[in-house]
Structure formats: structure tokens, C-alpha cells
Structure 1
Amino acid sequence: MKSISERGLGPRIGNAEKLVTALESFVNYLPQRPEFSIESLRIFINQIKDENEAVASKKQQYSLSVEARRLLFEKNLFSIRKVLTHINATVKAGYGRDAKEATDVGAIIAKIRGAEPKAKTSAEEESVSQSHRSFAATVQYFSDLIASLNHFGTNYNPSNGLLSVQSLKGLHAQAEAANNQVMAAFSQLKQMNDNRMDSYDHFSQMAIRVKDGVKAQYGMGSTEYRMIKGLVI
């Protein structure tokens, strides 16, 4: 996947605008192809600017979806991570610490805690995919935990209604949806960023040909060519 980093893109678009401004100052600039005209180049630059803004917006949406997932899995008072201790204590209180039911529930909780992903801020594809799988494993183990609690029937009777099987099912559904939303947001960001980088690369190739055209029209030693030959796009 093409990098989502903004590093270096600002100077590139700035140099693209410098190129067009220089062409406007040249006497009788004659583009060798219609797409090398000043008007066409400006339209292309504006398209890239629009793509930059769209990618920035998608990045924000992705960031918000990641934070929403963290709230449900880790940060909220009623997050998956924080209800585990209460569930464990409730089962032990109902059956006894050494009961098989308590042991089984404790084993599932250990799996959930073992599957918890480390916090990652990278939006690169491999990191996002690994994180999604880790959260998906947590969701699956949490589903197994709920199934066990449901099997206990009325013997699982938490004093806090938020720990009821029905309430936990709701948390499970929200967490699963949040994890899927992160992946969907990233997929949209990836596609939009790839399109943007294709535009940058295409304009870069166009700029090389524009420079060659200026060199052919005005000469290698001309002021016009010297003004633009060093612009890296």
C-alpha cells in the first residue's frame, strides 16, 4: 500500500504551483500536448488539492472510529476489559472460587486478556490488519464467555444489571460493530489515499515532460528552463 504519511507532499504541491506560475510568466509558452497547457495543469493541481482535503477528512473519520473502538473495548466504565473482573467475582460469589464454573469462566477471561492488542497509532495496512484480528479474537472469546454465563441460567444472577447476559450481549454487538467499522474506515482511507498518490505520481511525470518541452522551446541555457528545472514534484 502507498504510504498515508503527509511528509513531503506539501513541498511537492508547492513546487507544482511554482511550475505553473513560471509557465505563466514565459513569453509565448507553447505546450506540446493539450494536457500540458497552463489551464490543464492548474485544473490538475486543484484536483490534487481536493484529494488532499478528502484524505484528511477520511483520516479524521478513521481516527474517530479507532477511538470509539477503544472506548468499548478498554476505556469506558462498561468496556469489555473493565467488566471482566466484575463477572469473575460474580461467578466466584455464586459458585465458590474452586468450583468448575468459576475455573471455566476464569480460563475464558484469561484468553480475552491474552488477546487484547497493544495500543497502536499506525495507519499502515499490516498494523491495522493485525489490530483488527486481535480485537476480533477478543470479541469471539467474549462471545464464548457470554454463552457460558447464559448456560448457568438463574444461577448467574449479578447484582449489577449491566452485568446481565442481555446487557453483555449488547456490549458484544457494539464491540463487534466498532471493530468492523475501523476496518471499513481504513479501507476507504486506503483507497482514497492510493488514488491521491497516483495523481501525484502522474503530475510528476507530466512535469518532467513539461520541463523537456520548455528546454526544447527556449533552450537548455535559457532563463525559462533554469527557472523550472530544479523543481521536484
Structure 2
Amino acid sequence: MVENLLRLREPVAWIVVGVTAVSIVLAVVRFVLALGTGAPFSAAAQDVSLEAMSLTLVMALVALVTACVFEAPVPGARRLVAAAATVVTIGTVLTVLGALLGLPASSGALAVVLEVLGGLLDVVLKIVGAVTLWLIHRGMSAGRIQVAPAVVAEEAPAIAEASQPAPPAPTWAPDAASGSVWTSASDAASGAQPSGWGVPGGGTGWQPVTRPALDAGEPEARPEGTDGQP
């Protein structure tokens, strides 16, 4: 059941955003129609302050947005927070303006005081909701609130693997060098031609080792005990 609630929280939050926006638009339309029928301006403004945005919708929207951001954040949390903060701010501004412009419609000083005190808590809570949503949006934009840590954790191994340097390319082809023989390890390391078979194109076979010529004034050294001694 908890998993079903987590899946439904984002679409329900978007539905509440849409309902709140529609109620604001309808309140503005009613205000314009009331002025068109000759209704007093202060009375029409007072109706806007009362019907523009329900406090219940604001509290529900703040709770749903908080659940979408702080409890297993959804991928579209940033767009949801921005939309909710914008809608609640517009509704709060209309509520405050309607309450101020609708004060002349009240009959008597006592009625004005009672209406101000009655609407003060409603306005304060709506302002708190709007400020809370904007603070959440600011924290997400600044990186202090992680949007989707699960997605980041999945992408982390791929990012770490991509950041590792590529291994150096081999200096010789294993297929080409298979079965070849070099005279010494230094010849093989320097990239010299092999002295045995196994290289495409054939090798040159075994060749005698060429000894360096002796200097003219230096006698050729002979091993002791041979027939060449005087």
C-alpha cells in the first residue's frame, strides 16, 4: 500500500496544482463578470479574496510536494515545485489584494475588524505555504536538496568508468608475432626483425653471427692449450 501511495503522490500533486490554478482563473473570471453586470468593485474584490484559492488546497499541495521531494524524490520534482510555488504565489497575491480592496464593502468599523481578523490567519498560512515552496525550489536549484539520488547512484559507476584513462595500445600484434624468435630480449623489446620464422611474409632463416673486425695492431687472442701456441 505504501508503494502505491508513493507512485500516486506525483500525479495527485499535479492534479491539485491544476485544480488550484483553475480555481484562481474562475475567481478572476467571476470578478470580471461581476464588474460587467454593474456590481460594486469592493464587493467583487471581496469575493475574489474568498474564492480565489482554498487554504485546504494549499496545505494539501505543500504536503504532496514535500513528499515528492524528501521521500524517494521523483524525477519531475523540480518542475512540480516550481509550478506549485508559482500557482500558490499568484493565489496568495489575489487573496491579499482582494481582501484589501474589499474592505469598503463591509458595513461598519466592527465588521471591518472582524473580517480582517478572520482573514488574517488564512492569508498568513497561504503566505507560509508559498514561502515554503520557494525555499524548497531554491534548495533544489542550489544543490542543497538532492532531486533524485537513486538515479545519481545508478549513473555513478558509468561516470567513474568513463573517467578512467584508456589502457595504452599494444606496441606489437600478438597474431603477427606468434611463433617468432629473436636473438636476444633487447632485440625483441626494440622492435627489431625476428631472426626466426613466424612473421607474415616469411623470415630470413638463421644467419651466422658477424663478429667485429680486430684492430690492426692488436693480435688475435687465442685460448691457452691450443695448437696455435709458439
Superposition TM-score tier, normalisation by shorter sequence: 0.3 to 0.5
Higher gyration radius (CA):
2
TM-score when normalising by structure 1 = 0.35
Per residue, is there more helix in 1 or in 2?
1
- Select the structure with the greater relative contact order (CA < 8 A; seq sep ≥ 6): 1
